[in-house]
């Protein structure tokens, strides 16, 4: 067994994951804070205003990374759901449901900041635009996964039901991504594509920094939520008693 497969095998062990994630968390939170400060400073202070939208364009440093994370997290949830359904990996199930509240928060931020940007740009906080509507559907999917999981008393059954809903909802992701090209929408086309970027480097750099910062926030938050859910589900097991007894000293 090579080192990568050995690492994957170890992550399926709750005690090992708990100890490893505890050592990792100070670093992930630290990187997130450094990137957040740098990204906000460069984006809100150093970057020039947009030549068309003016100062209101600075909302994109929060909006764009949040919208990107809302889709990325849901895609990861679907992958974790498949792993849980096919290979019955408990840690994948726990990480899937632990990701749902984080994804819902990012989706809500994307919708809220998009509305704030839309007021000076479109003259209204909300329009039933294809991009906005499909992003709203994504929020409902996140809430549906959370609610469906909470409806079951047995965690494994709850995780399987939530995973099935997450998989069904994946069809919404390409609709969100391609809505601005499939339909004549008010939402502006993507500025970051595989062919390059239409954004000036002075604005692109802080935007990319914020994307990476949000990724580290997701990792940190996911590790915290997963550790708490592990303690909750395994509270009667020996390894939890060993950890808690050591923490009390």
In a domain, 170, yes or no: yes
Burial of 204 (0-12, 13-18, 19+ CB in 10 A): middle
In a domain, 47, yes or no: yes
In a domain, 32, yes or no: yes
Q: How confident is the model at residue 185 (pLDDT cuts 50, 70, 90)?
A: low
Query: What are the φ and ψ backbone dihedral angles of 187, each rounded to 5 degrees?
Result: -65, 140
Buried residues in 90-125 as b, exposed as e (16+ CB within 10 A): bbbbbbbbbbbbbbbbbbbbbbebbbebbeebeeee
In a domain, 172, yes or no: yes
The answer, yes or no, to whether residue 62 has pLDDT greater than 90, is yes
- pLDDT tens, position by position, 140-150: 999 999 999 99
SS3 label, residue 197: strand
For the segment 121-130, the average pLDDT, to the nearest whole number, is 82
In a domain, 217, yes or no: yes
Q: Which domain holds residue 92?
A: 26-186+200-247
pLDDT value for 89: 92
Domain count, the chain: 1
Q: How confident is the model at residue 205 (pLDDT cuts 50, 70, 90)?
A: very high
In a domain, 148, yes or no: yes
In a domain, 192, yes or no: no
pLDDT value for 172: 96
Mean pLDDT of all residues in the chain? 89
The answer, yes or no, to whether residue 231 has pLDDT greater than 80, is yes
pTM of the complete model: 0.92
In a domain, 130, yes or no: yes
176 Cβ neighbours under 8 A, 6+ residues apart: 71, 131, 134, 135, 138
């Amino acid at each position: 067994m090579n080192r990568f497969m050995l690492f994957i095998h170890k992550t399926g062990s709750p005690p090992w994951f708990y100890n490893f994630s505890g050592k990792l968390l100070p670093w992930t939170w630290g990187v997130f804070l450094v990137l957040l400060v740098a990204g906000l400073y460069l984006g809100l202070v150093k970057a020039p205003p947009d030549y068309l939208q003016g100062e209101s364009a600075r909302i994109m440093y929060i909006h764009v990374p949040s919208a990107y994370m809302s889709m990325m997290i849901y895609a990861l949830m679907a992958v974790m759901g498949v792993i849980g359904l096919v290979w019955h990996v408990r840690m994948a199930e726990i990480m899937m449901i632990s990701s749902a509240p984080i994804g819902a928060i990012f989706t809500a931020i994307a919708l809220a900041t998009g509305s704030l940007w839309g007021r000076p740009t479109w003259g209204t906080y909300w329009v039933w635009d294809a991009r906005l509507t499909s992003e709203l559907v994504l929020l409902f999917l996140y809430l549906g996964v959370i609610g469906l999981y909470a409806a079951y008393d047995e965690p494994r059954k709850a995780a399987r039901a939530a995973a099935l809903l997450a998989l069904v909802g994946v069809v919404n992701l390409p609709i969100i991504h391609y809505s601005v090209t499939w339909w004549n929408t008010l939402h502006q086309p993507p500025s970051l594509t595989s062919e390059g970027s239409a954004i000036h480097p002075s604005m692109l750099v802080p935007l990319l920094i914020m994307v990476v910062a949000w990724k580290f926030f997701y990792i940190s938050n996911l590790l915290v939520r997963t550790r708490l859910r592990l303690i909750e589900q395994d509270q009667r097991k020996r390894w939890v008693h060993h950890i808690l007894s050591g923490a009390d000293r």
